[in-house]
Structures are given as C-alpha cells and as structure tokens.
C-alpha cells in the first residue's frame, strides 16, 4: 500500500476536496497534492493531522478493513520489546541510567561518538 494512494482514497470516500483538507489541517494544497501523488512522504505528525481532518482513526491510514487488525499474541516467553530481557536488557538499562545523568552537551557528544562508531567499518 502506498500512503498517498490511501490518503486520496479516504479523502474521496468522504467527498472532501484537497481545499477542504487544507482548511482542516493548515497544510498547503500543493503539499497535499504532492503527498497524494507519492512525490513526498509525510511525517507522523502530518499523518495525524490528515487522519483528524479525514475524521478517521490513525490505523485506517494503513489498514483498509473496517475493524482494527487483531492483536497478535506472542508465544510464551518471548517479548516484543527489543532488549527486554537477558544480557541486552542489562546493557540497555546501564546505558539508560548513565544517559539520564548526562548533561545535554555530554549527551550530544555521546550520540555523535556512537554514530561515528556505527559508521566505522572493520578492516
């Protein structure tokens, strides 16, 4: 599914013009057209505005059934939270605790260094 096509479909279903959406969201009509023609990808915040303007819940932008999709039950002993258990959880907890005590400048430096390390290739 292409989000622009889905937004156009929902707009036409509600019999709204792009001008109506412009008034309801504050977004420019030319931007709405670019989204609907798949020339640009909207941010999550923009999608929230569009859903409110179209008077539909957010999930309808991604799902074309009438009811929300069923929640998938994970097998017992698994988690949908990455790093939610085991060695990863311990490491992430330590990082969260250390980062919560950092100043804004130290945190920026830490993130910068982590990005540089992630982009470094082993030789």
- Which of 7-11, 62-66, 77-81, 109-113 has maximum average pLDDT? 7-11
Cα 117 from Cα 123, distance rounded (Å): 13
Nearest partner of 7 among 122, 99, 48, 105, judged by Cα: 48
Cα 36 from Cα 5, distance rounded (Å): 6
Q: What is the per-residue pLDDT for 78?
A: 58
**Residue extents of the structural domains in the chain:** 3-61, 86-119
Q: What is the per-residue pLDDT for 81?
A: 60
Q: What is the per-residue pLDDT for 93?
A: 81
- Please identify which residue in the block is written with the tokens 């156009």: 8
Say whether pLDDT at 63 is over 90. Answer: no
Does residue 21 contact residue 32 with C-beta atoms inside 8 Å? yes
Q: What is the per-residue pLDDT for 77?
A: 60
Lowest mean pLDDT among 28-32, 74-78, 115-119: 74-78
Cα 111 from Cα 109, distance rounded (Å): 6
Say whether pLDDT at 71 is over 70. Answer: yes
**pTM of structure:** 0.56
Say whether pLDDT at 33 is over 80. Answer: yes
Query: Sorting pLDDT into bands at 50, 70 and 90, what band is 85?
Result: low
Architecture of domain 3-61: Orthogonal Bundle (1.10)
For residues 99-106, average pLDDT? 87
Cα 7 from Cα 102, distance rounded (Å): 42
């Amino acid at each position: 599914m292409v989000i622009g096509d889905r937004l156009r479909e929902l707009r036409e279903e509600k019999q709204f013009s792009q001008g109506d959406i412009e008034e309801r969201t504050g977004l420019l009509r030319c931007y709405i057209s670019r989204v609907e023609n798949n020339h640009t990808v909207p941010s999550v915040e923009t999608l929230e505005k569009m859903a409110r303007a179209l008077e539909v819940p957010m999930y309808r932008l991604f799902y074309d059934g009438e009811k929300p999709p069923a929640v998938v039950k994970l097998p017992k002993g698994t988690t949908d939270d990455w790093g939610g258990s085991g060695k990863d959880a311990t490491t992430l907890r330590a990082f969260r605790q250390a980062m919560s005590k950092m100043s804004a400048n130290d945190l920026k430096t830490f993130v910068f260094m982590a990005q540089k390390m992630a982009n470094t290739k082993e030789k």
